[in-house]
Chains A and B, each alone.
Chain A
Amino acid sequence: MATAFPIASLQRVLRALFIPALALLAALLAGAIVMILSGDDPLAAYSGLFQGAFGDGKGWARTIRKTVPFILTGLSVALAFKVSLFNIGASGQFVIGSVFAVAVGVNFEGLPAFIHLPLALIAGIVGGMLWGAIPGFLKVYTGAHEVIVTIMLNYVASLFAGWTVYAGGTQGQTPGPLWDRTAGAISETQDVLASAQIPWLFGPPYRVHYGIFIALAAAILIWWLIFKTPLGFEMRTVGHNMRAASYAGIRVNFTIILTMALAGGLAGLAGGIETLGLNHKFAPEFGGAVGFDGITVALLGQTHPFGVLLAAFMFGALDGGAATMQFESGVPADIIQIIQALVLAFVAAPLIIRMIFRLRQQTQEEAASAVSTSWGGS
């Protein structure tokens, strides 16, 4: 069995990649149809997209820069999925993480970088964890569904973040606590101190910072947590069968709250890294759209940490190449968002993919077991 293991696991990986890869392909095809309908040349567009994403050093830099937050928000959603929790709140957690990180980043002048930067990153994680734990608590103690609560908290987070950097009004309204007094009427924070900025891996014009390594490490850590530790076993057990988990002596409520907090922490870390590594300040327009994309990335990555890495890289490349595509072919960069949305639609509906590509139906046995377990209750 020990010798057969690598082959079996390789087959499993390939099988898991099959549908997501086809979903991506289908979305690109559908995007091409949209372009043809609007009189554009899809070949020119996709060649521009590829050039923009991988054509030169700057392209690679853009792709990697965009990939970082996708990895972390994708991990956030994927981790919650493992416990059968649907974290729609990565967006709000991202924003809160940004605000917490910037609050530490602009203060504490004189701290050495090796203390200040980790402190600011941890602040981002803590902010996201708090924001993620709230829906966990509400689910456990009131039965409020985490989907509703996380969606609502996205608005709360974005409004709260807006207030912290509010420039004050013409009628003398109080400005927000993090507002940069030198920014005039603009609502934004001052730049985070150099000691709290994530150093460049490749400086301008490439602007790739060390955050990519933090994101990669997070993916490995989450994989290890889920599949190798007793805590991960508990989380997966709760995700599969809550009753069996309580039978086995697992603290189900604690596990749910902890998972939501950890998921929030990952999204918060994404916000912290974007703020401390790239934007160097917070302003409302640095919102958490990337948090919503985390849902797509997690699903495209089959909710596996390493799948999330691949999916995030794909999305990073799409975003990284979009501007060049518009410049080269005249196709508006917004088409990329359509393609990303279509990816979600196709991943979420594998049957459509099977139909488009005329794959053999699920074997009847699979279909039969799907039928016979659908209302079985277990």
Chain B
Amino acid sequence: MTQSQPSPNDRHEPDSPKLEAQGITKLFPGVVANKEIDLALHKGEILALLGENGAGKSTLMNIIYGLYQPTEGQILVDGNVVEFHSPRDAIDLGIGMVHQHFQLVPVMSVVDNIMLGSESVDRGLLNRERVAAQIQELADRYNMPVDPNAIIEDLPVGVQQRVEILKALYRNADILILDEPTSVLTPQEIEGLFAVMELLRSQGKSIIFITHKLKEVLRIADRIAVLRRGEMVGEADPKTASQENLATLMVGRKVTLEVEKEPASAGDVLLELRAIEAFTDRGEQALRGVSLDVCAGEIVGVAGVQGNGQTELVEVITGLRPATAGSVLINGRNMTNAPPRRITEEGAICHVPEDRHMYGMVGAYSVADNLVLNSYYKPPFSSGLTMNQAEIAQHAEELVARFDVRTPSVNTSGASLSGGNQQKMVVAREFGRPISLLVAAQPTRGIDVGSIEFIHSQIVAKRDEGVAVLLVSNELDEIMALSDRIAVMFHGQISAVLPRSDATREKIGLLMAGVRADD
């Protein structure tokens, strides 16, 4: 692995790079988001931009995409200095960006979304057929099958992302910025995306791939640039780099990717699920008789391909979705279809929800208010009629310190924290009170290595205190690293429960794909 303090004269290419950022500095009030960053992207290259949340990756990309103006420094496209006043200027020069949160209109068709903003018009009327044909041509060329007339909200996330990429290609993008494109995808969809990226590269497109997943970087990138705290701390060659040294570079200290834990000493059964059935929002049967026990002091991991009922299972346990059959017993008490607050209080249960934006936090609320989101009504935060702001603030100061939530103050809005810190905020709230059962769904989705390490160690610490832990994750690595027992979910059922010692990736993978253990 080569580390270098980059400077513009460091490397001389025979021809000028496709895209170059020189000495980019971006100041926000009180924050240096980017500091003298140099970056070059060549034709037909996949450059991975690696960094923790809050390292300045998104700021840098927004500058390249014309959303922000740099405080200092300049952007060059094909060797010419350019100045972007809006994304439109960047698009005109062939830069396309696929945001982490898709910029699609859910109720409109693929064609309408793709031509939105650069409509094809004949005598004042939209020419959808022509656009549809162009989309079809692009889709064929880059092997991204999509029905141009499908409505966006009916499409799976992976296909929606394809539409975003096609949208950029339709605008003749030669440079594609993909902002955390894999964080919303299933493992299969990720493979599909990588195939598309390789095809795009072979046809001369240049790609900036933003991520913090080390494995993916090593798998797909031609070159790796690492950002830390707004500065470019080095470049790495994926052929020689390892996950460990990339993580160290990214976080700035040695990171343990392996979770260290003692063997579990399981106690009494704390959570008993008996033949639970439930339906999805769309009325399809999601759970078909799920039975599972979780004991005090053990971590039971639920593995499975997303959409096999894991989400619904967690919602049934926590009272957010009615069970149509079966029973949930927590600490021996029947909690089937009890209101969420009763489950939280009597079950002494805490829930790290799989979608922190949708369930786990209120973006407009301060960190302090988010930290009392489910205890605001209890003393000392509330004394009957009024809430006690001083107690709420003090409680927040304590949790922020204890769980290392990086925030300017406890009065900062939750929405303005980085993803990893938002998740730490949720974890701080849920772990910061006495509990006997922890239900953690995708506890490290979309967050950086340093935060993952921290959250994993907290989960293990809870287990060692005697808490029963139900861990649901789409990341097989996470399940393997943390679990004492592994339950595999397939098609709304638990298809097998294995002790960790019997579980291999291959065995679990087959079970996840629906192959029965005894076949």
Contacts and interface: CB of A to CB of B under 8 A. Distances in A.
Interface of A: 1, 224, 228-230, 233, 237, 240-241, 243-244, 246-251, 364-365, 367-368, 371-378
Contacts of A251: 339
B386 interface: yes
21 contacts: A230-B376, A230-B377, A230-B387, A237-B365, A240-B362, A243-B359, A244-B358, A244-B359, A247-B359, A247-B360, A247-B373, A249-B341, A364-B69, A368-B67, A371-B67, A374-B103, A375-B104, A376-B101, A378-B357, A378-B358, A378-B363
A228 B101 contact: no
Contacts, number: 85
Contact of B101 (A224, A249, A373): A373
Given A230-B376, A240-B364, A375-B101, A1 B359 contact: no
Contacts of B353: 247
Interface string B472-493: 0000000000000000000000
Given A230-B376, A248-B373, A378-B357, 14 more contacts: A1-B409, A229-B387, A230-B377, A233-B376, A237-B362, A241-B362, A244-B358, A244-B359, A247-B351, A249-B344, A371-B67, A375-B105, A376-B101, A377-B357
Interface of A is mostly: helix
Nearest to B369: A233
B473 to A, nearest CB: 19
Considering residues A237, A240, A374, A378, which has the most beta carbons from chain B within 10 angstroms of its beta carbon? A378
Contacts of A241: 358, 361-363
B28 A372 contact: no
A249 B340 contact: yes
A228 B373 CA distance: 15
A105 B278 CA distance: 55
B16 interface: no
A373 B361 CA distance: 16
Given A228-B386, A378-B357, A248 B374 contact: yes
Nearest to B372: A233
Contacts of A368: 62, 67-68
Given A233-B376, A247-B353, A372-B99, A364 B67 contact: yes
Interface in B153-167: none
Nearest to A8: B411
A246 B351 CA distance: 13
Nearest to A5: B411
Given A246-B320, A247-B351, A368-B62, A377 B340 contact: no
Contacts of A372: 99, 101, 103
Contacts of B105: 375
A364 B71 CA distance: 13
B448 to A, nearest CB: 19
Contacts of A237: 362, 365, 373
Interface in B316-375: 318, 320, 339-341, 344, 351, 353, 357-365, 369, 373-374
Contacts of A243: 358-359
B361 A244 contact: yes
Contact of A229 (B68, B363, B385): B385
Given A228-B386, A233-B387, A375 B106 contact: yes
B102 interface: yes
B457 interface: no
Nearest to B381: A230
B101 to A, nearest CB: 4
Given A247-B340, A247-B351, A371 B101 contact: no
B378 to A, nearest CB: 9
A375 B387 contact: no
B382 interface: yes
A141 to B, nearest CB: 16
B373 A244 contact: yes
Contacts of A376: 101, 357
B335 to A, nearest CB: 13
Contacts of B361: 241, 244
B365 A240 contact: yes
B63 to A, nearest CB: 10
A30 B242 CA distance: 67
A109 B141 CA distance: 87
B382 A375 contact: no
Contacts of A248: 340, 373-374
Considering residues A229, A230, A365, which has the most beta carbons from chain B within 10 angstroms of its beta carbon? A230
Contacts of A224: 386
Contacts of A230: 376-377, 382, 387
